[in-house]
Amino acid sequence: MKLSRRVEQLPSQFFASLAGKVAAAVKEGRDIINLGQGNPDQPTPPHIIRALQKSVEDPVTHKYSPFRGTDEFKQAAAQFYKREYHVDLDPASEIAVLFGSKIGLVELPLAVMDKGELMLLPDPGYPDYLSGISLADVTYDTFALLEENHFLPDYAALTEEQKKLAKLLYLNYPNNPTGAVATKSFFEETVALAEKHDIGIVHDFAYGAIGFDGYKPMSFLQTEGAKNVGVELYTLSKTYNMAGWRVGFAAGNKDMIEAIQILQDHLFVSLFPAIQKAAAEALSGDQHAVTSLVALYEQRRDTLMEECRRIGWNVTAPKGSFFAWLPVPIGFTSEAFADYLLEEADVAVAAGNGFGKTGEGFIRVGLLVENERIREAIRRIEKLQLF
């Protein structure tokens, strides 16, 4: 059967291509140290698993969920934002349950934009932002995230035409892939831009729990006026090592939340109630596992920075997320360097150009293997005598 034009025009999956290269190398019997993935390597905390186990045994959870999710989960999400960020949210009108935040990121153009309208996306940025553009048949421009500006966008570089036409603008801090973090003044500038030009802001807060050196990442919704102009998407994947559980939520602007709800009314009957029960426990229960997880990532970051600098690799430590954004040596493109490391050192990394043209000249390294594997990866790279 012929595929629809909508499916045929979907962008190629960058991460699937990377995973294929790594799988082929492993199949050859090689010991690959995979620093290219974004999949948390630690288990879900036991108290969350116990909450799921108990809930699964309750026949009530075997029925359809309410279309817009359980009150318990939405109330837990609202309480989480109040506790962590001092943000007040109405569970009924300002929170939408998501099958992981990726769903929301792809749905939003479908929910609030018409064919041909303009989105603004960060470059480099999460490749799956492009999926929503393709499915909604909208257009997009990118804004550069440059090292000299701490990987924050320079809104002065946007043209008057872009600001006039843009309907949505996506942000992501702590940032994937750069590890950069946002500031209070930057978020204030973002709200001012949105208010002046009637642009909806979508803040992808996937790494919201992961800040280093005593830094606690800011929620966009902490900014005065943020709920008037945008939403924030939160996932439990990273904070609670629940990537495979596919659970998250959108919070903020009532109109944007309602648009998501209406679209999802036609696509889903919400999440398995037992997962929502466990997610509520994650958000409301003991948070010591989160503190320990962030400390683990910081230790791994320090190991990576120490080892890179030891071999002469001039690197900058990320302030958040579980990624590091490292410059490639002179004479290599991002993709050529990533391929070279895989072939010659059995080390997998993600090429920076896979996140956009401004990502050229960098690779993304994940902090998702044990310290000794990080040290071994850098020892292997050291033998190539590139630095």
Q: What pLDDT, in 10s, does the model give residues 266-294? A: 999 999 999 999 999 999 999 999 999 99
How confident is the model over 126-160, as pLDDT tens digits?
999 999 999 999 999 999 999 999 999 999 999 99
Q: Which residues share a beta bridge with 123?
A: 144
For residues 171 and 119, give the distance between their C-alpha atoms in angstroms, rounded to a whole number: 12
pTM: 0.96
H helices of 232-370, in order, are: 236-239, 254-267, 273-284, 288-310, 334-345
246 to 129, 235, 237, 241, 356: CA distances (angstroms): 17, 8, 7, 11, 26
Q: What is the pLDDT of residues 186-216, one digit of tens each?
A: 999 999 999 999 999 999 999 999 999 999 9
Mean pLDDT across the chain: 96
Delimiting residues of CATH 3.90.1150.10 domain(s) in the chain? 5-44+288-382
Asked if 308 and 300 count as a contact pair (C-beta separation under 8 A), the reply is no
- Assess contact for 300 and 371: CB atoms under 8 A: yes
Q: What is the pLDDT of residue 159?
A: 97
% of the chain at pLDDT higher than 90 = 94
Helical ranges in 139-239 per DSSP H: 160-165, 184-197, 226-229, 236-239
Say if residue 150 is exposed, middle or buried (CB neighbours under 10 Å; 0-12, 13-18, 19+): middle
The Cα 289–Cα 241 span in angstroms is 10
User: 163 is written with which tokens?
Assistant: 């600001």
List where CATH 3.40.640.10 sits in the chain: 64-284
Among 144, 137, 203, 136, residue whose Cα is nearest residue 169:
203
CA distance 320 to 324: 9
Assigned CATH class of 64-284: alpha beta
- Torsion angles phi and psi, residue 324, rounded to 5: -125, 145
pLDDT at position 56 = 97
| 346 pLDDT higher than 90 | yes
> 18 pLDDT exceeds 90?
no
Rounded distance, CA 195 to CA 126, Å? 25
- CATH match of 5-44+288-382 with 3.30.479.10: no
For 21-78, what is each residue's pLDDT tens digit? 888 989 999 999 999 988 999 999 999 999 999 999 999 999 999 999 999 999 999 9
What single DSSP character describes residue 329?
P
